[in-house]
Amino acid sequence: MTDGGLAGRVALVTGAGSGIGRGAALALAGLGVAVAVCDVSNEAACRTAGEMTAEGGRALAVAMDVTDIASVTAGFAAAVAALGDADILVHSAGGNERSPGGDTVANMDLAVWDRIIRLNLYGAVHACRVAAPGMVARGWGRIIIVGSASGYRLAAGGGAYAVAKAGIGAFTKILAREVAASQVTVNSIVPFFVDTPMLRRQFPDDAALAAEMQTGKLANPMHVVLQVADQVEAILYLCRASGRYVTGQALHVDGGSIMP
């Protein structure tokens, strides 16, 4: 696999302790990119960074809470001091939680609503506000935000998570327009129920997950269990020279769940 012009670059990956963020961080390190492995769990960040350094890569574990702009700013500064200016931001941090009263607009607990919005939408805003100015100043950068098909399906009961992910779609386009003249691209990838630890908590059994993708409510039109590697390939495409003129786009890697 060629590095696509990425060797020697520096990347900051949020949510890199597990799932898509971890996959992206490991893949970038394999292409010769120095990676700041950022996660709210320092233990998880250290685990991922340790995998990279064991293979001879350059990595730094950074404990970062993306809901807190001060934490993002401090973590970013530590990463730059250790690894150099960040050329790539992969923002994968996010998550969902259920409200005790239900997930509709009428009954979702407002404290839960606020936490979900802050994690999934404000988290992206915080990371981009800190990372983008340096990229603009240097005239090169790649920003990839992990969205969700939930932000496009907009199903009843989607709650704050769907609203936040829909906001990611708009935010991506706005930021892309603002930085395009500086050769900084901003895109999102849009997965739908990928085989990650989060999904496995709901479907720990392989057969049950496969059956869900055939006839369940989470099934995609291709009836496949989407893998982290599928999302990572999309991220790498957007980072490489081959994706240099792709910006302001939402790349759906979801088995056909959303066909805009």
- Catalytic residue from among 122, 152, 161, 237: 161
Are the C-beta atoms of 225 and 19 separated by less than 8 Å?
A: no
As a whole number of angstroms, the distance between CA 95 and CA 20 comes to 12
Residues 6 or more apart whose Cβ sits within 8 Å of residue 233: none
Task: Based on the residue annotation, tell me whether 161 is a catalytic residue of this protein.
Answer: yes
As a whole number of angstroms, the distance between CA 168 and CA 163 comes to 9
Look up residue 129 and give its two tokens.
Answer: 């506000």
3-state class of 89 per DSSP?
Answer: strand
Amino acid of residue 54 = A
As a whole number of angstroms, the distance between CA 125 and CA 6 comes to 25
Are the C-beta atoms of 13 and 25 separated by less than 8 Å?
A: yes
Write out the catalytic residue numbers: 161
